[in-house]
Structure 1
Amino acid sequence: MSTQPHVYAADDPETALKYAIQHHGGDRVEIVEGVIQLMCPSWGHETAADQIRNQIAPRVAELGCVSGSGNLDLPGSSNWYIPDVAVVPKALAKDAPSLLPDQTLLVVEVTSDSNGDTDRIVKRRRYAEYGAPLYLLVDRQEKSCTLFTEAGRLGYTKMDGPHPFGTPVHLPEPFDLTLDTSEF
């Protein structure tokens, strides 16, 4: 059986780049400022993300949402992110190949040795610019958590942290719950 390549002509590089990573098959990749990055999280990284998902799961269900690591598009830019955890309304997530950051209730990024500065600087700025209301940065290298709120075009205007691992971190409405960070 022969496989015919799928030919796609795009009018602009952003569309072509985003199409390519969505249809390449295999590994998950994201685009950060025009650079394609392969997603290869360690088990320690995945453990932190899983602990957050488990702690917020009851509230996520009450809110009629789902949590996962689905695609987030940042239209008008060469960015296509796959957050470690995002909470989105179930109705939006059902059939969407991607969502926008302003359609999330919470975005969580857990740093790795290879991408810590990307999560601390680039993604924090972009998530704010694209309206993600809550951005939780779990910094495994610094062993701290920081919650960013009040998104705007120039960044987040409020920051709670950094808090050392082991310090409870409160997620405001619509969550109104406190995360145990002792096992991150």
Structure 2
Amino acid sequence: MNGLPSERSYDVVDPERALKYAIRHHAGDRVQIVEGVIEPMPAGWDHELAADGIRRQLSDRVRELDCVMGSGDLDLPGSSNWYVPDVAVVPAALARGSGALLSDQTLLVTEVTSDSDADTDRVVKRRRYAEYGAPLYLLIDRQDRACALFSEPGALGYTRVAGPLPFGEPIELPEPFGLRVDTSEF
């Protein structure tokens, strides 16, 4: 042996690509990557109740916009992040045949806090969604019993914020939605 790397060397591995490959091919529970850490997705019924409340209120408008709503994968290329939002709205044409979409391909991203990840949703994801161009970020904070809508993303964060509004006060989603969300059931 001459000590030189062979043509089949495994020395050159892109850690971001390897980590995201592992997540996409993970067997078992649904997981996401937040700042390089693999995290399980919470599945409590209270959590699902809040996410379902948003889905029900948006469903008619989502169909009118020829979009799809769900919790599909969002890649944040160039970072060690791979998110699975609680609810995202994306154009149906982009969802077809797609494994993961980018934040700037969404119309709305919604996260519902859980005891285990509230600060991640409040701080880390809000910053990253803005950095990667998600136009609207709706945070349903079950611990603080409040909602906030972040809009006008940029590299330094969202420049507009509506809220936090206590549960029970409606929150206005701007166009293309143009509707008022009832937060009393969260």
TM-score (ref. length: structure 1): 0.94
Deviation at 1:27, TM superposition (A): 1.1
The answer to whether structure 1 residue 102 and structure 2 residue 99 are counterparts is no
> Structure 1, residues 76-111: CA drift from partner, whole Å, max 9, x if none?
000000000000000100110000000000000000
Decide whether the 8 Å contact of 1:9 with 1:16 is kept in 2.
Answer: no
Match of 2:155 in 1: 153
User: Following the alignment from structure 2 to structure 1, what is the Cα–Cα distance between the partners of residues 152 and 105?
Assistant: 15
User: Following the alignment from structure 1 to structure 2, what is the Cα–Cα distance between the partners of residues 24 and 172?
Assistant: 37
Of 67, 70, 87, 2:69 maps to 67
Q: Which has the larger radius of gyration?
A: 2
> Structure 1, residues 55-87: CA drift from partner, whole Å, max 9, x if none?
000000000000000000000000000000000
Backbone CA RMSD of aligned residues: 1.2
Gaps of 5+ in 2: 1-9
Partner SS state of residue 49, structure 2: helix
Gaps of 5+ in 1: 1-7
Distance 1:183 1:25, change over 3 A: same
Identity value in percent = 70
Match of 1:141 in 2: 143
1:1-184 equivalent positions in 2, closer than 5 A: 11-184=13-186
> Structure 1, residues 12-48: CA drift from partner, whole Å, max 9, x if none?
0000000001112221100000000011221000000
User: Following the alignment from structure 1 to structure 2, what is the Cα–Cα distance between the partners of residues 134 and 110?
Assistant: 14
Shift >6 Å, 4+ stretches? none
Deviation at 1:11, TM superposition (A): 2.6
